[in-house]
Amino acid sequence: MMEHTNIIKKTIDYIENNLDSQLNLDTIAKEAGYSKFHLNRMFLECVGCTIYKYIQMRRLTVAAEKLVYTKKPVIDIAYEANYSSQESFTFAFRRLYGHPPQEYRAINVYTPKFHKFELKGNLVMFYKPAVKCEVIAA
103 assigned to some structural domain: yes
pLDDT given at position 1? 52
81 assigned to some structural domain: yes
pLDDT given at position 38? 96
Measured in whole angstroms, the distance separating CA 48 from the mean position of its chain's CA atoms is: 13
pLDDT tens profile 19-74: 989 999 999 999 999 999 999 999 999 899 999 999 999 999 999 999 999 999 99
**Predicted model pTM:** 0.82
- Contact indicator for 55, 15 with CB cutoff of 8 Å: yes
83 assigned to some structural domain: yes
pLDDT given at position 44? 94
133 assigned to some structural domain: no
pLDDT given at position 102? 97
Over range 104-132, report the average pLDDT.
69
Count of domains observed in the chain: 1
- Contact indicator for 44, 30 with CB cutoff of 8 Å: no
Over range 74-88, report the average pLDDT.
96
138 assigned to some structural domain: no
pLDDT given at position 78? 97
34 assigned to some structural domain: yes
- Contact indicator for 64, 129 with CB cutoff of 8 Å: no
Domain residues for the domain of 99 are: 2-125
56 compared with 135, residue with greater pLDDT: 56
135 assigned to some structural domain: no
pLDDT given at position 4? 80
In the predicted model, is pLDDT for residue 119 greater than 90?
no
* Dihedral pair phi/psi, residue 131, rounded to 5°: -135, 165
In the predicted model, is pLDDT for residue 6 greater than 80?
yes
Please report, for the domain that includes residue 110, its CATH number. Answer: 1.10.10.60
113 assigned to some structural domain: yes
